[in-house]
Amino acid sequence: MTADGPRPGDEAGTLPAPRPGDEAGTVPPVALIGPMAAGKSSLGRKLAARIGRTFADTDKVVVLEHGPIPQIFAEHGEVAFRRWEAEAVRRALVPGAVVALGGGAVLDERTRALLAHATVVLVTVDEQVVERRLSGGGRPLVADGITAWRRVAAEREPIYRELADTVVDTSRTPMAQLVDRLEAWLAEREL
């Protein structure tokens, strides 16, 4: 928040706009990837606030532009959702931004190519923790619960690992400690 109101990108899901001082032309975006309900959005929002960068949640961008994800899947199908998701990722991955990607965003070949120019953080979580997080989440691909989550996460795991520059697990470590670790890791990496 600035004296003039919220900064662009402060609202959850809005696309970031470079601000003076963001070093927008020189600092690669930080992209958080990983399975559904791993905590990418919470971690990304807190990390962006800590390091003074803009934040975007690509799932929220899609929802703002096209409606609730379950409704998109029901009315337009997964193919349309993936197309809109890839476009949201393309617009969000700007230098200096912190971006939380939906769990399946990495399935898109163009998105994977964009991530080659980003600092990629794989956010993981164990099954016992994610099972509690899934209840009432409105996630079409895991409507059947932990069994579906386990299958989807296992299918995507090799892609996540291939793209990741570092891995953080949100299962038991307090979010503030994870942000501390990532802030220190980014500072070393960007020297």
Q: What is the CATH number of the domain that holds 182?
A: 3.40.50.300
How far apart CA 83 and CA 150 sit, in angstroms, is 24
What are the distances in angstroms from CA 163 to CA 8, 126, 150?
Answer: 28, 20, 20
List, in sequence order, every residue forming a beta bridge with 2; answer none if it has no partner.
Answer: 5
Question: If you average pLDDT over residues 95-115, what whole number do you get?
Answer: 95
Q: Which two tokens stand for residue 39?
A: 């905590």
The pLDDT mean for the chain works out to: 85
Is pLDDT of 71 > 60?
yes
Q: What is the pLDDT of residue 26?
A: 78
Is pLDDT of 17 > 80?
no
How far apart CA 100 and CA 44 sit, in angstroms, is 6
Q: What is the pLDDT of residue 138?
A: 56
Q: What is the pLDDT of residue 1?
A: 37
List, in sequence order, every residue forming a beta bridge with 99; answer none if it has no partner.
Answer: 31, 56
Q: Which two tokens stand for residue 123?
A: 């956010």
DSSP 18-66: --TTS-TTTSPPEEEE-STTSSHHHHHHHHHHHHT--EEEHHHHHHHHH
Residue 6 covered by a domain: no
State pLDDT tens for residues 148-165.
888 989 999 999 999 999
Residue 4 covered by a domain: no
Residue 11 covered by a domain: no
Residue 139 covered by a domain: yes
Give the predicted TM-score (pTM) of the model.
0.82
Q: How confident is the model at residue 106 (pLDDT cuts 50, 70, 90)?
A: very high
**Lowest mean per-residue pLDDT among 44-53, 74-83, 126-135, 150-159:** 126-135
Alpha-helix residue ranges (DSSP H) falling in the chain = 40-51, 58-66, 69-92, 109-115, 127-134, 146-163, 175-189
Residue 17 covered by a domain: no
Residue 24 covered by a domain: no
Residue 5 covered by a domain: no
**Lowest mean per-residue pLDDT among 35-39, 118-122, 140-144, 180-184:** 140-144
Residue 117 is part of which domain span? 30-189
Number of domains in the chain: 1
Is pLDDT of 9 > 80?
no
Residue 9 covered by a domain: no
